[in-house]
Chains A and B, each alone.
Chain A
C-alpha cells in the first residue's frame, strides 16, 4: 500500500485507476474471475465464495454467495468463472463433481441458479463460451468434458477424452466452435463443439499433467500450456501439426497461465507448489521473467487480468487468504537486478568478458571490442516503449589473451592434489600441508600451516626445548616465549600491507600473551613446590633439573587437601607484579571461593592471566589447552583466512577452514564460507580436479555446499526419432525400436563414448571417428561436410 503510484490508462473512454493493494479473505482462495466491467472480482475456494468490488483504494466485499444453513460440498469450489457477456452470470465447479450456475439477478439471497450433477469426480474447470450466452463447458477428473446449455436441465453433449483426467478446458476466442482441453497424462486435445464423438486433434504437450492452457486473445492459433514439468509452451495450432513456438522454463510446476492483454508476447504464470510469486514472461526471452510480483506468502491459485484491454492490472488470489491487485508498474523486474555480464574461458585459456558499456568504459587501459550484437532480443528489441530495458541497449566485449607461460597454475593443481584435508590428526595434517607448500616454494603458506599447528595442537607434540629453556632460566618477566614469536611471524607472514592495519591488535595480543606466559612460568614454579604427585607429566620432565628447589619449599602445600583453594593465592601476587595492579585482599578472597566469578571480574584487566590461574587450579595436565581460551586465536586466524581469500588464494582459506573445522568455523559467517567454498570448487572444476572438488564438497560443513552433490547426476536421453525419453537403455528406444546413436563408420550402435561433429551432427565411436579423420577430412556419413576433430 505504500506504493501510491497511480496509473491511468486510456481505454477508449473508460479509464482504470488503482493501486497495488490487497485485502484479507477469510479462507484460502482456489480461483478468481473478473467481471466484464472490470470493477468486480469473484473469489472462490473451499470455504469462501464472495464478490468484491475493486475500488480506487481497496477491495470492498459486495456479496457473499455462500448462503444457507449448512456448508455444502456444492459450495466447495475448485474453479469459478464469470460470464464475459452477462454480468449476472457465474459458474462454479465443485470438488464433489457438481457444476453450479449463479444468477446475481435473482431477488432472493440465494443466488444459486442451476445444479448439474453429471460428473462423477471433481470438476477441475468450467468455461463459458466467449460469445454465446448460454453455453458452458466443464472438464472433470473423471475424464469427461460436458457442454451445458443453460436453458436446459441436462448437458447437451459429452466429450470423452479417452485418456485421463481433464485439467483445463478453454473455448477458443476466435474460432466459434473450437475448444482446447488438457489432460493429466500430458495430452492436449482440440475439439469441435459440434462433434462430440472424437477430437479434432491430439498431441502430447508436456511430460506429466498439463494443468492449464490459455488461448491468445489476438493471435488466432496460439495456445499457451503449462504443466507439472515446470514448462510453459506456446503452440501454433494453425499449422497442420501443432508446432511448439516458444518454451519457458520456470522453477516450479505451472498452475495457471494467462496471456497479458495488449502485449503480444507476454503471459503471466503462477505455480502450484513451492514458489509463491507471479511471473510475467516475454516468451521470446524465456530465461528471465519480465516482471515478478512477490506479494503472496503462499502459493498463488488464481490470476486474472483485470480488463481484457488493459495490460497493467493483474488480480490474484492465493492460499494465504489474500486477494491482491498488482500494478505492472510496481512489479519488481529481475532484469534490473540481473548482471548483464558474461564471462567465458576459451579453449586455450583466453578469457572473454562482456558487460554493459558503461561499466567497461570506466575500466581504462583496455580497449573494448566492438559491441556484442549476437543477442538482439536481449539487447535491442523493445516492443513496448513503456518497458524499461533501455539500460541494456549496449554492451562491450573484452577478450584477454593468455600470455604463454605466464599465469601457470601448476602450483594450484599440485597443492590441491597433495593437500591432506582430513583423516589424520590435526598436527599431522598441518605438517603435511606445510611440507607440500614448502616443496612448491610457497614459504609463506608453509609458515602459516606450521603456525596453525602450533596454535591448535596439544603441547605434548610441541618440541619441548623452548619450554625447557624458559623454565630453566626462571626469569618471570618479558620472556621471549615461543608463542610471542609465533605471533610476530604470523603477522609478517601475512604481508606488509595488512601488517599496518593489524599492528594494533597484534601488539595487544602480544602483551596479553606475555602476561600469560609470564604467569605460566611463575605458576610452574609454584607447582614445583606442590610436590611430585602433580600429574603434569611433561612439565615435571622439564623441570627435573631444579629438583633441589622443589624440596626447599615448605611442606604445607604438599599435604594440602585442596590445591584449588591454596594455589590461586600464590598465583595472584606474582601475576600482579607483572600487570602492575595492586592486589586487593577481598579480591583474593573471592578468587578463593569461586574462581569463576572473579574470573569474569578480572576480564577488565586482561583475560588470559586469569585463565592462567585456572590452569593452575586444574593442576595443569592440559596446560596449553586451558591456559588460553580455546578461541583465543580464532579472531586472528579468521583475519588470516580473510586475508588469503582477498588475495585470491581461496584455496588456502578453504583448506584451513576444513582442516581446522569446528575450531574456527563459528567465527566466520556462513555466507562468507559458502562464497569461499563455491569459488574454490569452481576453480577446482575448471582444472578438472573432480576428485578434489568432491572431497571438498563432502568435507564442507556449510549446508548449501554439502547439498551440491546430493543432486541427481543422471542424464536422460531422448530418442532422436520419436522424441520420447529412452528409459531402459541409453542407446535403444523402447517405443520405436530403433537404435539412437549409430556409428557412422562401423554402423553399429554406440554404447560408450559417442563423439559427433557439431557441424553436421554425424558421429560415432570415438576411436573410429579419430581413425577416420586421420585419413579423410570429410564426414564418414558421406554428407559432404568437412569435419574437424580437435
Chain B
C-alpha cells in the first residue's frame, strides 16, 4: 500500500469555501474506504502470518483517522462537514469495522454537557469565532467550547493565542509549541501537552525532543529553570536569571525571543490552571477522548487518573452529600448583603494605615494555610513528566519557611505603565493584545449574581483579582485587603488557591463546593479572572527582572 497517496489531508476542511470542503471530504472518504477495504481483504484471507504486523499498523492508522473523523462529526463548526463525517463513519461501520465513540463527558468534566453550548446551535457571533478558530487550528478544542460562555473574552483570547503561536514573532513555530509543552508539563497538564505535541509535530518539530527536555537544544534547556521558577515561585526571578539566558554564548536568547518565550510560558501556565479549574476533558481525537469499546464495557478514562480526578467517585460523593438548596440560597444573599455593607461602610469608618498594611500581610500569610486538606503528592504521569525536570519543585508560600520576600508594589511596576511598554517594544503588537485581554477579563460583567440581576459586581471581581495577585506577593496600595476576607469564603479561597498554585490537584468536589448557587458560566468567569490575574502576576515578575537587567 503506497502511503504517499493515502496521506491524509485535513487542512482542506478548514476552508471557508463549502465546495473546497466538499472535495476535501470526498477525498477523505475515498481514502478511508480504501483503507477499510484493504483491512477487510486482509482479514478475509485465511492465514497470512507475515502480514500480521503491518496489519496492526494500518489498523492503528485507520483508527486514528476514524477518531479524527469522530471529532469532526461532533466539533466542526461547519454543518456540512459534521454531517458528512458522520455519514463516513456510518458507512465504515457497515463494512464491519469498529468505529470509535466519544467518552461521555462533554468538553468539561465539571460542567454537565447540557449546560455547554452545542456546536451547531451557536449564534452568528459565536459561529464566526468558532470558524475562525477552526480555520486556524483545524479543530475546535474543549477550552474554546467552555470559554464560549464569554464570547467577548474568547475572541480576544483566541486572537492572542493565534498571534503567539502562528503570526510573526522571533521564535520559530516548533519552538513556540515546545515552550507551550514545557509550560503545560510544569503543571502536569496532559491535556495541553497532548494538544501541543500534535501541533509540534505538525509544524515539523523533531520528535526526538519529545523524549524529554535533555533532548531539546541547549537553548531550550536553559529556559527550563525560568519555566520552573515562573510557574511556582515567580517572586524569586532575578535579573541574574535573565542574564544567564541572554549571555550563553551561542545558546543565548535575544531579548525579543526571551519576551516571546516569557509570554508563551505565562500564557500556558495560566491556561493549565484553566484546564484543571474547569475540568476540561481530553479532546475527542486524542488519547482518552474516545473509545473503540462498546459502551457497556467500562466508564473508565485514563486521563482522569493522570489528572488526579476520579470523576466517577466524585459524582457519587456529591449526589450523596448535597447541601439543601435553601442553605446555599442564603449564601448568595449573605454575600450580596456583605457587598452592600462594604459599599456603605467604606466612607464612614476608616481603617488606620497600620491596620491596612497588616491586613495585606494577614491575607498574604493566610493564603498559605488555605489549602485543600488532602495534600498527598500526586506523582505525575510518566509521559508528561519527561518534559520537565525537578518534579519536586512546586509552589511554596513565601512566609512559610521564614523567607521574607519584599512585597511587590504595583504602584512601582505595573502592567499598564511599565510591562506593556516593555513587551510592545520587544515583541510588537503582543503588548496590545495582552493588554486588551487583561482589560476584557477584568471588566467583564453581566451585572448578575446567581439569580440576581443588576448587581454591581466590580467589588467582588476586584477582590478575586487582588486575592490571586496577593498570593504572589503583589500588593495594591489603594486596596483594603480586609474586603477579601468579607467577600471570599473559605471553600472559595481553597478553590482559587488550588487552581492558581497547584492546578493539578483540583477536584470536582472543590469545583462544586464553592458558590453552589452560582451558574456554571459564572464559575467559568471566575476562572477567566484567575488565569488572567495569574498571567499578569507572572508577567510582572518576569518583566521587572528584564527591566532590571536592561538598566
Contact of A211 among B167, B412, B417 (CB under 8 A): B417
Contact of B551 among A95, A208, A297 (CB under 8 A): A297
Is residue A80 contacting chain B, with contact meaning CB distance below 8 A? no
Give the complex CA separation of A711 and B430 in angstroms. 12
A755 to chain B, nearest CB (A): 25
**Chain B interface residue bracket vs A:** 35 or more
Give the complex CA separation of A474 and B173 in angstroms. 59
B435 to chain A, nearest CB (A): 8
Asked if residues B168 and A253 are in contact (CB atoms below 8 Å), the reply is no
The residue on A at minimum CB distance from B246 is A703
Stretch at the interface among B26-34, B43-51, B303-311, B420-428: B420-428
Asked if residues A73 and B254 are in contact (CB atoms below 8 Å), the reply is no
Contacts of B377 in A (CB 8 A): none
Which of A76, A94, A274 has the most CB atoms of chain B within a 10 A radius of its CB? A274
Contact of A95 among B350, B411, B421 (CB under 8 A): B411
Is residue B396 contacting chain A, with contact meaning CB distance below 8 A? no
Contacts of B40 in A (CB 8 A): none
Contact of B550 among A70, A96, A208, A274 (CB under 8 A): A274
Is residue A46 contacting chain B, with contact meaning CB distance below 8 A? yes
B207 to chain A, nearest CB (A): 22
Asked if residues B421 and A252 are in contact (CB atoms below 8 Å), the reply is yes
Asked if residues B353 and A72 are in contact (CB atoms below 8 Å), the reply is yes
Is residue A272 contacting chain B, with contact meaning CB distance below 8 A? yes
Contact of A73 among B256, B353, B422, B427 (CB under 8 A): B353
Give the complex CA separation of A94 and B427 in angstroms. 33
Could you give 24 example pairs across A and B, Cβ below 8 Å?
A46-B412, A72-B353, A73-B477, A76-B411, A95-B411, A95-B477, A95-B478, A120-B346, A120-B478, A141-B478, A184-B416, A211-B417, A253-B417, A272-B417, A272-B421, A273-B547, A274-B550, A298-B551, A299-B551, A701-B250, A710-B254, A710-B257, A711-B428, A713-B168
Asked if residues B425 and A70 are in contact (CB atoms below 8 Å), the reply is no
With A710-B256, A710-B257 in contact, do A78 and B411 touch (Cβ < 8 Å)? yes
Is residue A14 contacting chain B, with contact meaning CB distance below 8 A? no
A interface vs B, CB < 8 Å? 46, 70, 72-74, 76, 78, 94-97, 117, 119-122, 141, 184, 208-209, 211, 228, 252-253, 255, 272-274, 276, 297-299, 701, 703, 706-707, 710-714
Asked if residues B353 and A70 are in contact (CB atoms below 8 Å), the reply is yes
The residue on B at minimum CB distance from A184 is B416
Asked if residues A274 and B478 are in contact (CB atoms below 8 Å), the reply is no
With A703-B254, A710-B257, A712-B429 in contact, do A97 and B412 touch (Cβ < 8 Å)? no
Contacts of A122 in B (CB 8 A): 411, 477-478
Give the complex CA separation of A255 and B435 in angstroms. 18
Q: Mark B337-377, 1 if CB is under 8 A from A, else 0.
A: 00000000010001001101100000000000000000000
Asked if residues B477 and A96 are in contact (CB atoms below 8 Å), the reply is yes
Contact of A710 among B170, B353, B420, B435 (CB under 8 A): B170
Asked if residues A707 and B551 are in contact (CB atoms below 8 Å), the reply is no
Q: Determine the main DSSP class of B at the interface with A.
A: helix
Asked if residues A209 and B416 are in contact (CB atoms below 8 Å), the reply is yes
- Top 10 A-B residue pairs of the complex, sorted by shortest distance between their CB atoms: A710-B170, A95-B477, A72-B353, A712-B428, A273-B421, A95-B411, A97-B478, A122-B478, A253-B421, A121-B478
Which of A141, A184, A253 has the most CB atoms of chain B within a 10 A radius of its CB? A253
A562 to chain B, nearest CB (A): 37
Give the complex CA separation of A14 and B356 in angstroms. 48
A711 to chain B, nearest CB (A): 7
Is residue B79 contacting chain A, with contact meaning CB distance below 8 A? no
Is residue B251 contacting chain A, with contact meaning CB distance below 8 A? no
Beyond contacts A228-B417, A298-B551: 4 other A-B pairs, Cβ-Cβ < 8 A, are A94-B477, A209-B416, A273-B417, A274-B421
Give the complex CA separation of A594 and B69 in angstroms. 71
Q: Determine the main DSSP class of A at the interface with B.
A: loop
Asked if residues A273 and B418 are in contact (CB atoms below 8 Å), the reply is yes
Q: Mark B423-466, 1 if CB is under 8 A from A, else 0.
A: 00101110010010000000000000000000000000000000
Contacts of B357 in A (CB 8 A): 73
Q: Which residues of chain B (476-527) have a CB below 8 Å from chain A?
A: 477-478
The residue on A at minimum CB distance from B170 is A710
Q: Mark B148-181, 1 if CB is under 8 A from A, else 0.
A: 0000000000000000000111100000000000
Is residue B409 contacting chain A, with contact meaning CB distance below 8 A? yes
Q: Mark B252-283, 1 if CB is under 8 A from A, else 0.
A: 10101100000000000000000000000000
Contacts of B350 in A (CB 8 A): 117
Q: Which residues of chain B (117-135) have a CB below 8 Å from chain A?
A: none
A771 to chain B, nearest CB (A): 28
Contacts of A209 in B (CB 8 A): 416-417
The residue on B at minimum CB distance from A230 is B421
Give the complex CA separation of A72 and B351 in angstroms. 12
Give the complex CA separation of A713 and B167 in angstroms. 10
Contacts of B353 in A (CB 8 A): 70, 72-74, 96
Contacts of B477 in A (CB 8 A): 73, 76, 94-97, 122
The residue on B at minimum CB distance from A320 is B551
With A72-B353, A252-B421, A714-B429 in contact, do A276 and B478 touch (Cβ < 8 Å)? no
Which of B167, B170, B250 has the most CB atoms of chain A within a 10 A radius of its CB? B170
Give the complex CA separation of A141 and B417 in angstroms. 13
Contacts of A711 in B (CB 8 A): 256, 428
Give the complex CA separation of A96 and B352 in angstroms. 12
Give the complex CA separation of A211 and B417 in angstroms. 9
Q: Which residues of chain B (292-319) have a CB below 8 Å from chain A?
A: none
With A122-B477, A710-B256 in contact, do A274 and B428 touch (Cβ < 8 Å)? no
Contacts of A714 in B (CB 8 A): 167-168, 428-429
With A252-B425, A274-B425, A711-B256 in contact, do A228 and B551 touch (Cβ < 8 Å)? no
